[in-house]
Amino acid sequence: MTEPKDLFQQPAKPPAAAPDREESIDPAGGDRPRTLAATERVAKYFPVESTWFGRKGRFVRAVDGVSLRVRRGETMGLVGESGCGKSTLGRLMLRLVDPTFGRVVYDGKDITHHSQRELRPLRRRMQIIFQDPYSSLNPRMTVREIVGEAIRVHRLAKTRADEETRIVDLLEHVGMRGDAMDRYPHEFSGGQRQRIGIARALAVEPEFIVCDEPISALDVSIQAQIVNLLVELQERLGLAYLFVSHDLKVVEHVSHRVAVMYLGKIVEQAPSETIYRQPRHPYTRALLAAVPQPDPERKRVRLVLEGDVPSPIDPPSGCAFHPRCPRAVKGTCDREVPRLEDAPQARGATGAGSHRVACWNPYVD
C-alpha cells in the first residue's frame, strides 16, 4: 500500500517549495473551516521500468507538487488534457492513491498517513463518480444491489422497505425509473450506467465528491440534466465538488473556481469568470481557443497548439509547456520552472491574489 521508503530518496529532489500565498490549512493556524479538502505540495511519482535488479529510478511524475484546496459547498473545476494528472490529483485528495511527497488534508486533519482503518469513517463523507460507467459497475450486481450496498455498509436504512424507498428515490433523482432496480448494468446505455454510478455515490450522503469526468460519456441533452442535478444537489446538501474534466464549457458552467493542469502542475487558477475572461497562461488560452463554439458565423481563432503533450517521464526542462508555447522566452522558459504566483491584474480588477498563474511571460491584456 504505502510506497517503499527508497522512493523518497530516488527522485532527484522534492519539488521546490513554492511560496503559498493562501492561508494555512492547519487547524492550528486558526479557525478556518472553509477549506474542506486540500493538498499541500502533493506529488505522486509512479515508478516505471522496473528490472530484475530493482527500480532504475525513472518516474512518471503524474502530480508534481500541487497545492489545491476545495472549500465547503464549492465546486473546484480541474481542467487539463489526458495525462496531465488531474485524475490522480482527485484520487490523492481522497487518499485512494498514496502521495510520494506532500500532505493531504481533510476537514482540518492531516490524513496523509492515515491507515485504511482510520480512513474508513471518512469514506462516507467523501465519494467519487467515475469516468467510465462500463468498468465501474459490477456486472453481476443488480442496480438495487449496487446502490443498496453502500446504504447497507454504512447502515443508513433501518428496514428493507426503508432501503427500497431510498434506492427508488436515488434513482429518480438521477433520472431513472424505479423499475430499473432489478436490472443489471449491461441492460443500460452508457449514460444510464453513469446515472447509476452517481446514485451510488449519493447513497451515503457525502459532503465532498470528486467527479472524475462525470459527463464525458453522456449525450448532450443528458449532460445538461446531470449538470443540473449536480448543481441542485450541491445547493440542497451543501456538497463540495472537485469537478475533473477536459470539457471546459461544462467546467466553466459548474465551477466557482477553476484550476488548469499541465503535466502534473497547476499552471493557472482563478475564479471561474476570471479565468475564462482573462486567461493569463498561454496554455489556458490555447485550451479555450480549441473548444469548438456552436456558432457557425464566428470566425475560427487559429490558435492550434502543435504537437502532443510531452511524456511525464521526461518532462521538458524549465516550464513544461515551453516546447509548445507561442510566447516562450529563450533562456528563461526552457531553464527555470515558473512558480504559481499572482497574475498580472487587469486595470480596475479586484480580488488580488485569487488569480494565480505559473508563467514567465503571461498575457497581460
Partner 1 sequence: MPDEAPLLRVRDLVTSFRTDSGTLRAVDQVSFEVPRATTVALVGESGSGKTVTALSILRLVSSPPGRIESGSVELEGRDLLQLPERDMRAVRGNQVSMIFQEPMTSLNPVYTAGWQIMEAVRLHQRKSRAQARARAVELLRLVGIPEPETNVDAYPHQLSGGQRQRVMIAMALACEPKLLLADEPTTALDVTIQAQILELLRDLQQRLSMSILLITHDLGVVAENARHVVVMYAGRVVESAPAKDLFARPMHPYTRGLLESIPRPEARAAGPVRRLKTIEGMVPDMRALPPGCRFADRCALRIDKCADEEPPLAPIEAAPERRSRCWRASEVSP
- Residues at the contact surface with partner 1, assessed by CB under 8 A: 75, 81-82, 175, 189-191, 219-225, 227-228, 231-232, 246, 248-250, 252-256, 271-273, 276, 286-287, 289-298, 300, 304-306, 308-309
CA neighbor of 1 nearest in space, from 123, 66, 96: 96
Taking the complex as a whole, the smallest distance from the CB of residue 231 to partner 1 amounts, in Å, to: 5
Residue for cell digits 469514506?
Answer: 123
Supply the minimum distance, in Å, between the C-beta of residue 274 and partner 1.
9
Q: How far apart are the first and last CA of the chain?
A: 48
Q: Which is nearer to partner 1, 77 or 90 (CB)?
A: 77
CB of 276 to partner 1, least distance (A): 6
Instruction: Give least dist CB 247 to partner 1, A.
Output: 8
- Extract the C-alpha cell encoding 74: 464549492
**Least gap, CB of 154 to partner 1 (angstroms):** 29
Do the Cβ atoms of 139 and 221 come closer than 8 Å? no
Residue closer to partner 1 (CB basis): 47 or 191? 191
Q: How far is CA 339 from CA 45, 271, 344, in A?
A: 20, 19, 14
351, 352, 356, 362 alpha-carbon torsion, rounded to 10°: 120
What is the nearest approach in angstroms of partner 1 to the Cβ of residue 32? 23
Cβ 104 vs Cβ 110: under 8 Å? yes
**Under 8 Å between Cβ of 143 and 180:** yes
HEC profile for 43-89? Answer: EEEEEEEEECCEEEEEEEEEEEEEEEEEECCCEEEEECCCCCCHHHH
Please tell me the distance from the alpha carbon of residue 33 to that of residue 135, in angstroms, as a whole number. Answer: 36
How near is the Cβ of 249 to partner 1 at its closest, in Å? 5
- What is the rounded CA–CA span in Å between residue 100 and residue 98? 7
- Residue whose entry in the numeric block shows the C-alpha cell 433520472: 175
Least distance to partner 1, CB of residue 296, Å: 4
What are 245's strand-pairing partners?
A: 79
Residues 6+ apart with CB under 8 A from 300: none
SS3 sequence of 209-260:
EEEECCCCCCCHHHHHHHHHHHHHHHHHHCCEEEEEECCHHHHHHHCCEEEE
Minimum distance, C-beta of residue 252 to partner 1, in the bound complex (Å): 6
